[in-house]
Amino acid sequence: MSALEAVAMPVRYMGTKRYLAADVRTAIESVTPSGSVVDLFSGIGAVASALSPDHHVITNDALSFTTVLARARFCRGRRTEFAHLLPSIRLRYREREQELETAHESVLARESVALKADWKTLATFMANYPHVGISSDARCMARICAVADTREKYSLATLYFAAGYFSVRQSIQIDSLRYAIDQEAPCSVDWDWMIAAWLSAAATVMNAPGHTAQYLRVSGELSQTRVRRAWSRDIWAVFTDRIIDMTQEGTQKWREGNMSCNADALKIISSDALDGVGVVYADPPYTKDHYSRYYHVYETLYRYDYPASTGAGRYRNDRFVTDFSVKTKVQSAFEALASGVRARGIPLVLSYPDNGLLSLAGVNLLDLLTSHFTSVTLKSRPHSHSTLGASGGEQKKRAVENIYVCS
């Protein structure tokens, strides 16, 4: 497959540069980089994917779940044949599933009744389910599971996200599959692959609008049908499809030269990770929406760390916040980015729309970059951004996307 051919994305992602990846690649090549490309805000890796197999990449993002997607697709190692892993994974999966089904027998029965009843019954079931966001019993259980070194540890989705983002039955399946993967794929290459497919399966069935800031509630017959449809999907069946889709991209040689990091972009630019790098590509967030809020379900599933969590949305309390998404701080974040990369003597390629938060803060990005670099060129093209309905707005917003090449 050629690098720019469509590769299935593991999760739907706001602000993905999939549509712009070919232009970004051209901009990167215009500075003839003599080392790897660092993708500082790599998200789900649309640009890294477009750079294969010709330019080695170091992906980086503040959200840790993105790193397992990157490792599974872009990094080194030979996978075991899935046919060899499948029987033992399925066995472990069924073991834990049966255990959890027995433990949650009565709530599963109530869920089954609610799914067949009128929309109000389903809405009431969803509102009253005792998850960690509202129930002290669930929080107490989460504290116990967090330190368990037995199978009891595998109950996170059921305690955090059931009867909302997933049905109770699906949450049990998600926990059971995580247990099976942790037990049967301890080698890192297989574990990354399976966990990436597990997250992608969760994304596929999730009762949410693409991002996970909140789940879809039931307020009438139409939403009842949507929730029923989402909740009827079987995690195991979707997982076995995603395992096949989650291919290793590029060539083995290309993957051997790649790396994946999980750090604040403003910290990593002064670290060893940039030693010998040929060019920095930056695609910072451009709205006041913090990605950690919109993708918290994946983050908590991936980390499986039973975080403190409150409210109906069940957000983790330690969400990462970035100055790039704060109007009063966005200018200093850009200044730090430009001066940090400039200090390393590395060219910078940056994509940012004309209606980004920086312009709302009254700052001209071209002027800002020109004050740090001797040469800045700009290429613009119109584009519709996918917002996935963030901030309750439209699904698509028209904008001009700018690519700045600074050297």
Q: Using the rule CB under 6 A, which residue among 11, 13, 165, 300 binds ligand SAM?
A: 13
Q: By rule CB under 6 A, what string of x and - marks binding of each residue 314-343 to ligand SAM? A: --------x-x-------------------
Q: Contact between 238 and ligand SAM (CB under 6 A)?
A: no
173's tokens: 């399946």
Report the alpha-carbon distance of residue 340 to residue 345 in Å, rounded: 9
As a whole number of angstroms, the distance between CA 137 and CA 160 comes to 12
CA 82 to chain CA centroid, nearest Å: 24
Considering only residues 3, 7, 11, 15, which one is a binding residue for ligand SAM as defined by CB under 6 A? 15
Minimum distance from residue 326 beta carbon to ligand SAM (Å): 11
DSSP assignment of 163-198:
TTTB-HHHHHHHHHHHHHHHHH--SHHHHHHHHHHH
The HSE-up count of residue 14 (CA atoms within 13 Å, CB side) is: 27
Burial, 357: exposed, middle or buried (Cβ in 10 Å; 0-12, 13-18, 19+)?
buried
Q: Which two tokens stand for residue 13?
A: 């992602």
For position 291 contacting ligand SAM by CB under 6 A, the verdict is: yes
Site string for ligand SAM, 40-59 (x = CB under 6 A): -xxxxxxx------------
User: Which window, 35-43, 156-164, 166-174, 232-240, contacts ligand SAM (CB under 6 A)?
Assistant: 35-43
Q: Half-sphere exposure of residue 162, counting CA atoms within 13 Å on the CB side?
A: 26
Q: What is the DSSP letter of 390?
A: G
For residue 32, the minimal CB distance to ligand SAM (Å) is 22
Pick between residue 86 and residue 400 the one whose CB is nearest to ligand SAM. 400
Stretch that binds ligand SAM, among 76-84, 109-117, 238-246, 260-268 (CB under 6 A): 260-268
Contact call for residue 62 and ligand SAM (CB under 6 A): yes
CA 363 to chain centre: 29
Residue range at the interface with ligand SAM (CB under 6 A); choices 61-69, 108-116, 252-260, 399-407: 61-69
**What binding mask, one character per residue, do residues 191-230 give for ligand SAM by CB under 6 A, x or -?**
----------------------------------------
**Separation CA 99–CA 315 (nearest Å):** 27
Residue 289 binds ligand SAM (CB under 6 A): no
> For residue 266, which of 337, 335, 332, 326 has the smallest C-alpha distance?
337
The residue count for binding ligand SAM (CB under 6 A) is: 23
Asked whether position 63 contacts ligand SAM by CB under 6 A, the answer is yes
Residues making contact with ligand SAM (CB under 6 A): 13, 15-17, 41-47, 61-63, 264-266, 283-285, 291, 322, 324
